Structures are given as structure tokens and as C-alpha cells.
Amino acid sequence: MFDEKTKYRFYKKLYKWSRRKFRDAHLDRYKNDIKCPFCKEWFSISGIDYKHEYIKPEPEWGTHVRCGQCGRDSYWNLVAFPFPVRAESNGDPIKDK
């Protein structure tokens, strides 16, 4: 019915559209999004394919997360600012280099 080039373009557009819609739904639900500092993937997008683990008990100043894609741990301070800030394990925000 359709040639391969047309199918490819259609599925590519559908994929990009669905990722955008999934990210919007994630932001509506959780009000923030975290980008893994190691693999550079947004949790809302990579959460489709990978299970991100929120380590319990969470610290009172934020959250401790293990990325499902790269398996590395990161800490996020949710109290100091109105958005998630990457932090040390004691809650001190990490300054950009």
C-alpha cells in the first residue's frame, strides 16, 4: 500500500510525537523531570523502556535515584529550589563546573 520510505517517515513522526506526549503527561503528573547526569537521558522518556528506582528510605531533603538505563545512583535536592537540583549524598547542591 505505502512504499518503505513513506512508512519510515510516518513511524518516525509517530515516535517523536508519542515521546513528546508521554513527557507532557509525565510533567503534568509529577510536575518535574530529572535528566540522568551520567547517560543524559530524561527520566520521563527513558522511563518508557527502563524502570528507574527511587531508593527508600528517601532523605528528607530530596530523593535518591538509580537510573534504569545506566544503573548509576544520583541524589536530587527537592527542597532548596522549586525544581530538582543534583546534590551530594548529604543534600548539598553540586555546582556546575
**Cell reading at 28:** 503534568
Q: pLDDT digit string (tens) for 37-81?
A: 999 888 888 777 788 888 887 788 888 889 988 999 999 888 888
**What are the grid coordinates assigned to 75, written together?**
541524589
pLDDT in tens, 9-37: 999 999 999 988 988 888 888 777 888 89
Enter the C-alpha cell of residue 68. Answer: 534504569
**E runs forming strands in the chain:** 53-54, 62-66, 73-77, 85-87
Q: Which three cell numbers stand for residue 59?
A: 532523605
Sign of CA dihedral 69, 74, 77, 81: negative
